[in-house]
Amino acid sequence: MEDLILNHANVITMDPNLPRTNGIATQDGKILAVGSNDLLKRLRHKNSRGIDCKGNTILPGFIDAHLHLHGFAESLVTLNLEPRNNARSILGIQAKIKASSQNLPSGTWIRGKGYHEFYLAEKRHPTRGDLDAATSIHPVKLTHRSGHAHVLNSLALAFVGISKHTPDPPGGLIDRDLMTGEPTGVLYGMSDYLSKLIPTIDQNQLEEGIKLANQKLLSSGVTSIQDATSYNNRDRWEVFQHWKERKLLKSRVSMMLGGEGFDEYRRQPFPAYTDRKNLHLGGVKIIVHEVTGRLTPDQKELNEMVLHIHRSGFQAVLHAVEEPTIEAACSAIEYALKEFPRSDHRHRIEHCSVCTQPMAKRLASLGITVVTQPSFFFYHGERYLRTVPDSNLRHLYPIATLMKNGVKVVGSSDCPVSPVNPLIGIYSSVSRMAESGEFVLPEEKISPFEALRMYTDEAAKTTFEETIKGSITPGKLADLVVLNGDPTRLPVNEIKDIEVEMTILNGEVVLDRMR
């Protein structure tokens, strides 16, 4: 491995000991020294490669603390039904399904992702009937942009055995025709249920997707990701290992476990990956929701689940979007801490989308980290302003309020729910502006530096890795991103257009647009 001397750069280290400098020297995949151009010149040796950064800005490699890599990869090789991709009506969706079914042998699954009823002309979910009209000889599964709703055509419903007589599974909801009781094809909160019944995407196709996802991560400067999929288990762990061994996926991975995967792990721990800085196990993800109108899992069950995770020394990662679920998540963590006090637990709440100030205080007092998605107000702000009830809109993603009350807030994309680019998350946190040009709670703006912390040093803490990543400090991993603009100095509206010039991972240049 060659050592690098990066000079003539505007280095933002995120390390309070030396916040800004001009250059970085790496050795054996780690940061050897940071300092002035002169100092680094002395460290040069015959096997080192000098890189003139031409005044570009260097930051620690970005950390995306919550995404879904399988879903991301799949989204890159399945039908893209996002509004920006011309899926603005059910008719448009039908046309895409029809087109893709042309050369497919009958019985082959067709998968589509990213639709949202708000952006469809009809303002509703497609139904089985809509999908049947596009093809009746291929099973079709569409996934809502949130990942929490699906639509199946009649063939797919029959395949998974859902009929008029199927009861709603725990935590799920089969939408039914009011007159006939027949399933409409729309299924809520049933991702886990369907994941067990519908065959996974063809391995070769998935591998194509992973290659593309890897490229997107590197070209966004994301050197570490945390996979927050609630059905991650031993099989998924083996798939990640396989991708790592074959070098299909370069960014470092922390894979969370789902509840069932955790039980599996407790019965028999999975063998650790040879390079734990490259792939390791994170916390245990539990989805707390009210899809069916009541809290799932219920409070008592949730308390016991969190206590079990907590006592085992693991980190609880609780998906909670609206107030009652956040409240329940707090209560469960409080219960676990009372039963079994443990400092520095780093339990997390994911999304925490609607949060009042008293709730922020409660989160802070329990030491809970919030992992949220600032880019949502850029991509979905227009919809929030039109559809979120006023009582919730006033408390939507209140990042400044959370921070002021002492909550640690970390950024992520929830990709494929929104694209992976952290600069959009940083931009939206600072501007609070939607893509449509409208403000979403401008009083919740934070500074560019605070926004950078959400994707660097604060994010590193969520996996207990702050001693090896998150800042440009001698001894830490040489994971770096070179940008063509300084987010702390540019006018706010230009932050979203900053481009990644180079990505360095473990001291290796893995993306280079500077030549």
414 or 486: CB nearest Zn ion:
414
Could you tell me the smallest distance in angstroms from the CB atom of residue 415 to Zn ion? 9
Pick the closest to residue 496 from 420, 427, 413, 418 (CA basis): 427
Could you tell me the smallest distance in angstroms from the CB atom of residue 348 to Zn ion? 12
68 or 445: CB nearest Zn ion:
68
26 or 353: CB nearest Zn ion:
353
Measure the CA–CA gap between 341 and 300, rounded to whole angstroms.
Answer: 19
Residue type, 476: K
Could you tell me the smallest distance in angstroms from the CB atom of residue 351 to Zn ion? 8
Could you tell me the smallest distance in angstroms from the CB atom of residue 140 to Zn ion? 23
368 or 498: CB nearest Zn ion:
368
320 or 460: CB nearest Zn ion:
320
68 or 250: CB nearest Zn ion:
68
Q: Encode 93-112: b = buried (16+ Cβ within 10 Å), e = exposed.
A: bbebbeebbeeeeeeebbbb
Please state whether the peptide bond connecting residue 416 to the residue before it is cis, i.e. omega within 30 degrees of 0.
yes
* 488 Cβ contact list (under 8 Å, min separation 6): 12, 447, 448, 449, 452
Continuous segment of H or E residues that includes residue 203: helix 203-219
Could you tell me the smallest distance in angstroms from the CB atom of residue 232 to Zn ion? 12
* 254 Cβ contact list (under 8 Å, min separation 6): 224, 225, 226, 227, 279, 280, 281, 282, 463
Could you tell me the smallest distance in angstroms from the CB atom of residue 176 to Zn ion? 27
- Which positions touch Zn ion (CB under 5 A)? 414
Q: Which residues pair with 112 in a beta bridge?
A: 79, 142
Measure the CA–CA gap between 48 and 26, rounded to whole angstroms.
Answer: 9
Pairing between strand 480-483 and 57-60?
antiparallel
Measure the CA–CA gap between 308 and 301, rounded to whole angstroms.
Answer: 11
Structure tokens at 491: 């006018």
115 or 335: CB nearest Zn ion:
115
Could you tell me the smallest distance in angstroms from the CB atom of residue 256 to Zn ion? 10
CA Rg value for the chain: 23
Could you tell me the smallest distance in angstroms from the CB atom of residue 335 to Zn ion? 24
| Residue closest to Zn ion, measured at CB | 414
Pick the closest to residue 49 from 13, 18, 3 (CA basis): 3
Could you tell me the smallest distance in angstroms from the CB atom of residue 204 to Zn ion? 26
63 or 510: CB nearest Zn ion:
63
Long-range contacts of 142-145 (CB under 8 A, 24+ apart): 142/81, 142/93, 142/111, 142/112, 142/113, 142/115, 143/71, 143/111, 143/112, 143/113, 143/114, 144/115, 144/116, 145/82, 145/113, 145/114, 145/115, 145/116, 145/417
Could you tell me the smallest distance in angstroms from the CB atom of residue 455 to Zn ion? 16
92 or 419: CB nearest Zn ion:
419
414 or 458: CB nearest Zn ion:
414
Could you tell me the smallest distance in angstroms from the CB atom of residue 288 to Zn ion? 13
- Three-state DSSP state, 196: helix
Pairing between strand 409-411 and 369-372?
parallel
Could you tell me the smallest distance in angstroms from the CB atom of residue 350 to Zn ion? 6
256 or 281: CB nearest Zn ion:
256
DSSP state of 285: E
Q: What are φ and ψ of residue 452, in 5° steps?
A: -60, -40
Could you tell me the smallest distance in angstroms from the CB atom of residue 441 to Zn ion? 22
213 or 307: CB nearest Zn ion:
213
Q: Is the dihedral of CA 444, 450, 453, 459 positive or negative?
A: negative
Structure tokens at 219: 């070209």
- Three-state DSSP state, 104: coil
130 or 414: CB nearest Zn ion:
414
